[in-house]
């Protein structure tokens, strides 16, 4: 390799590195109340154990940038913390539309495994899937091709709590925690939007969180 080629490669890497650092990728983090969305925002901002979150998120907060580094890669993402109660679901849609969100993480926990009649996640998931798969926005405007997200993550949080509760040693993708969301995932896939199933702990496992984000960016 000549000196010039080496120099060109080095410059290329520098430019790409700076671009990746400055250019923020828009992520939408949604899900029912108490799944760990606020905890995840904290985890993305400052890596480490997140203190117990006591306050409930009200409405839609301003999106903030998070610079993430893992192994040899780094990305900047932008995400907003939004409440999970049904009255805030329309704020999820606003967030998606206003920021042209590229990747969506729909967070769940194990409440539907604990109690079969708890349908918090299923109802919120149906709302999200219907909104994403629809050809029009709630205001009646037709969606442009680039207004659809690149991928949807279905992330099961609080792994630290439930890992020993349910006997399972197969593949993550087949874990029974994802079972009720199959139909929605099928609908998204039919629409050409891939889904990423993931298991993690937003409160205590930064590596898992960062790896999930990087996997989504790299694979889709």
Ligand X SMILES: Nc1nc2c(ncn2[C@@H]2O[C@H](COP(=O)(O)OP(=O)(O)O)[C@@H](O)[C@H]2O)c(=O)[nH]1
What SS3 state is found at 41?
helix
Query: Cα(26)–Cα(76) distance, rounded to whole angstroms?
Result: 9
Query: Taking CB under 6 A as the criterion, which residues in 158-187 touch ligand X?
Result: 158, 160-161
Which residues contact residue 40 at a Cβ distance below 8 angstroms, ignoring those fewer than 6 apart?
Answer: 29, 105, 107, 157, 202, 209
Which of these, 216, 180, 183, lies nearest to 29 by C-alpha position? 216
Residue 158's binding partner among ligand X, Mg ion, none (Cβ under 5 to 8 angstroms by kind) is: ligand X
Cβ-contact 145, 96 below 8 angstroms: no
Stretch that binds ligand X, among 4-12, 15-23, 174-182, 197-205 (CB under 6 A): 197-205
38 binds Mg ion (CB under 5 A): yes
Give the H or E element holding residue 219. helix 206-219
What SS3 state is found at 47?
coil
39 binds Mg ion (CB under 5 A): no
Stretch that binds Mg ion, among 22-30, 49-57, 155-163, 175-183 (CB under 5 A): 49-57
Residue holding tokens 């919120």? 124
Residue 202 CB-half CA count within 13 A: 25
33 binds ligand X (CB under 6 A): yes
52 binds ligand X (CB under 6 A): yes
Shortest spacing between CB 57 and Mg ion, in angstroms:
3
Stretch that binds Mg ion, among 20-28, 56-64, 120-128, 187-195 (CB under 5 A): 56-64
**Residue count at the site for ligand X (CB under 6 A)?**
18
79 binds ligand X (CB under 6 A): no
Residues that bind ligand X (CB under 6 A): 33-39, 52-53, 57, 84, 157-158, 160-161, 201-203
């Amino acid at each position: 390799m000549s000196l010039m080629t080496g120099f060109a490669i080095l410059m290329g890497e520098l430019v790409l590195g700076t671009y990746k650092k400055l250019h923020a990728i828009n992520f939408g983090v949604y899900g029912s109340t108490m799944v760990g969305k606020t905890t995840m925002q904290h985890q993305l901002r400052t890596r480490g154990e997140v203190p117990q979150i006591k306050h409930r998120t009200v409405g839609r907060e301003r999106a903030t940038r998070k610079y993430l580094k893992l192994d040899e890669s780094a990305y900047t993402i932008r995400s907003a913390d939004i409440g999970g109660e049904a009255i805030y679901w329309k704020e999820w849609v606003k967030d998606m539309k206003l920021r042209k969100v590229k990747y969506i993480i729909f967070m769940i926990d194990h409440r539907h495994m604990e109690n079969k009649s708890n349908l918090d996640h299923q109802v919120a998931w149906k709302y999200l899937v219907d909104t994403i798969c629809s050809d029009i926005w709630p205001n009646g405007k037709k969606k442009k091709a680039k207004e659809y997200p690149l991928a949807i993550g279905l992330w099961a949080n609080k792994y630290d709590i439930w890992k020993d509760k349910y006997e399972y040693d197969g593949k993550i993708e087949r874990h029974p925690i994802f079972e009720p969301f199959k139909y929605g995932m099928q609908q998204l896939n039919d629409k050409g939007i891939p889904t990423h199933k993931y298991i993690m702990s937003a409160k205590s496992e930064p590596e898992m969180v960062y790896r999930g984000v990087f996997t989504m960016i790299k694979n889709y």
